[in-house]
Amino acid sequence: MATPKSAVYAASKHAVLGFSNALRMELAPIGIHLTTVNLGPVNTNFFDNADPSGKYRQSVRRYMLDPHKVAQKNCKKPL
């Protein structure tokens, strides 16, 4: 989803989704499946730089994912 102050970020996300959707269709005939994962906001220092006022972080705080839990989901061994 595009939001104010995120034009380049939103454009890159849309590009990845467009590429992934096209690749999914191209690979389907040979039995290869493709999945994209789009996380919501993750509580990292990204937001300190992206919005120093802290207003965005405050508005999405209840949706923010814990970075350690996200990393844990992607690892076969516990961190």
**Other C-beta atoms lying within 10 Å of the C-beta of residue 15:** 10
Does residue 65 sit in helix, strand or coil?
strand
pLDDT in tens, 25-64: 999 999 999 988 888 889 999 888 888 999 988 988 999 9
One of 5, 7, 9, 12 is an active-site residue; which one? 9
pLDDT band at residue 76 using 50, 70 and 90 as cut-offs: low
For residue 78, pLDDT over 60 is answered with no
Active site residue 63: no
Which among 39, 36, 37, 44 is positioned nearest to 68, based on CA atoms? 44
74 pairs with which residues across the strands?
none
